[in-house]
Amino acid sequence: MNIFDCNNHVKTTIEFFGPSCAVNSLLDKYNPMGDNSDRLCTICASKVSGQKCTSSDPYAGDEGAFRCLIETGDIAFLRHTTVLEMLNDQSFTKTKENDLELLCLDGSRRPISEYRSCNWGPTPTDAIMTTSAKSSSARISFQKWLQKIVELYGKSKPSQWLTSTPISNWESGQSEFLSNTQNTQNIDKNFYLFNSSAYSNHHNLLLQDSTRGLRSLEESQQTYAKYLGRSMDIVLGVRYCPATRMTLCVTSDPEMEKCIKMKMALKVQLLVPEMQCFRGYSQVHCMQAIKNGNADVAVMDAGDIYTAGLEYDEIPFITEMYDLPEPEYYVVAVAKEEDPSTELTYLK
């Protein structure tokens, strides 16, 4: 897949795929310059104004992608758990497992059940996040609390609940948070943590319906890079840019200070190529630095553009835009209002 824009992966995807439904591909986050094609929204389903190609589109999410495949698409990229989950849904009773196949990386096709040997790579499951500012003890408390919830509500057919109502303690005149010393837990038998069908027949609310439990992570694994592991290579690979660095030449200490702050701000956003700053002594010095390979770019006015092009074989490739439709500005002659006698004739 050719890289068309290092910092706009949607543009690269647009050039690779045909008409598709990739919801949110026109959001500012993925369309920073506002010039993305709507090709990735072409087959989205919503007819409601403001909903097409957004998270509210019927083809949004894993369920939506499966629906898109069944109704109009050719291929859908899904979790391996989604297919059987959708086939068991009342909305897709006409679709059978044998109607679908997995597409393998080697070009072959396999039955849906052979996802272990025919897939596009493993991806870490969803994880519950908190701020790194939380203390270790607080995070451990959260882990225990969540594991307790799984213990109480993570089984679809509990067999040892001794109460028939979630307010049994209150009804018997005892504290609703009574210690469970006699294994008489205050349980709501109508709630199941890993099921969302009771909520207007939705799927995967809060947690994935295919979840069977939660695993506490060791403190050493509690960073995004550690958790993502080998998937980080994919993330960074998507962000690969043919140009590895871009060095900006500046000609003053204040510009250098701003350049360094800009470099840090861009690094936080993971923008590529990586920016470097080069301190020149003049615009001509910057022209020489670019020609010699010590710098890559510099901002120049019209006069310096002429010199850089004529003497150093350098070219403009992006320009400032002001409040005019074209990349230009007007030169104006300004005089003091209190001096009405000033005329161009007397400026000789």
The contacts of residue 163 (CB under 8 Å, 6+ apart) are 169, 184, 185, 186, 187
Yes or no: say if 10 and 31 are a contact pair by the CB < 8 Å rule.
Answer: yes
Yes or no: say if 171 and 140 are a contact pair by the CB < 8 Å rule.
Answer: no
Examine the pLDDT at 108 and tell me if it is beyond 90. yes
Task: Please state the separation of Cα 151 from the chain's center in Å.
Answer: 33
243-312 and 9-114 share a CATH fold? yes
According to the per-residue pLDDT averaged within each range, which of 186-190, 205-209, 232-236, 301-305 is highest?
A: 301-305
- Determine the Cα–Cα distance for residues 168 and 175; give it in Å rounded to an integer: 10
Report residue 209 as tokens. 């319906």
Mean pLDDT of 302-330: 91
Examine the pLDDT at 340 and tell me if it is beyond 60. yes
- Determine the Cα–Cα distance for residues 275 and 263; give it in Å rounded to an integer: 6
Residue 216 burial (CB count, 10 A)? 14
Q: At what angle do helices 302-312 and 283-292 cross, to 10 degrees?
A: 40
Q: What residue ranges do the domains of the chain occupy?
A: 9-114, 243-312
- Determine the Cα–Cα distance for residues 315 and 331; give it in Å rounded to an integer: 24
State residue 331's pLDDT score.
82
Q: Is pTM beyond 0.75 here? A: no
How do beta strands 245-250 and 274-279 pair?
parallel
In this structure, which topology does domain 243-312 adopt according to CATH?
D-Maltodextrin-Binding Protein; domain 2 (3.40.190)
Examine the pLDDT at 127 and tell me if it is beyond 90. yes
Residue range 9-114, CATH number = 3.40.190.10
| Angular region, 121: left φ>0, alpha ψ -120 to 50, beta rest | left
Quick: pLDDT tens for 7-65: 677 877 877 887 899 888 888 877 777 878 888 888 888 888 888 999 888 898 888 89
In order of 69, 73, 81, 83, 89, the CA distances from 98 in angstroms are: 15, 17, 16, 11, 16
- Determine the Cα–Cα distance for residues 131 and 122; give it in Å rounded to an integer: 26
Dihedral in degrees, nearest 10, Cα atoms 226, 231, 235, 236: 70
What is the length of the chain?
348
Quick: pLDDT tens for 206-259: 888 888 899 999 999 999 989 888 888 877 776 677 777 899 999 999 999 999
